[in-house]
Each structure stands twice: as C-alpha cells, then as structure tokens.
Amino acid sequence: MAKVMAIPELIQVSCYAGSRGAEAPRAFRSSTAGQLDVVHILKRWVQENLQRVQKEYFEVLASDGETYILYRDRSLDLWFLEGKD
C-alpha cells in the first residue's frame, strides 16, 4: 500500500505529448526524490470531485526501482507527487 504524503509535493514532469496534449509522464523531478525516469506506468485513473475538478493519476515504476503515485490537476495544469510505495 502506498504511503500518501500529508501535502502533495509540486513536481516538474516531462510528458509524452500525443494528439490530446500531455498524456503520460516520462520523467519527473521532485525535491525529495530527485530526477527520475518513468520506467513503466502500472495504473492510470481519473478522479473528479464535487466541484468537477479532475485529477489524472498515474502509479509509476521509476528508474530508482520505487513505485510513485503522481497526479495532474487538470484545472491548474500542474503535477504533484502524492505518495510512494
């Protein structure tokens, strides 16, 4: 089970950009984990709250061998690190 951070960390993400814009993370940089490549996307899902704000989640295997939970807040177009296994 992933350890969810009390406050998600704002991160920088390099993405694969397909026909719908930024579609999937390829690498990310965080102050806690440093610069990591995404080796494999394990899961992907979208959540929407009552205000209809959508967050696109990715559970990824990173180049350090760890599993991370990243999400993109679609309304802000910002990426966050939410947790780590």
Whole-Å CA distances, 25 to 30, 39, 58, 60: 13, 10, 8, 9
| This prediction's pTM | 0.84
What does the pLDDT read at residue 50?
79
| CB neighbours of residue 11 within 10 Å | 21
* Residue 75 clears pLDDT 60, i.e. is over it: yes
At 49 the pLDDT is 80
Give yes or no for residue 79 having a pLDDT over 70. yes
Q: Which of 73, 64, 71, 61 is nearest to 4 (CA)?
A: 71
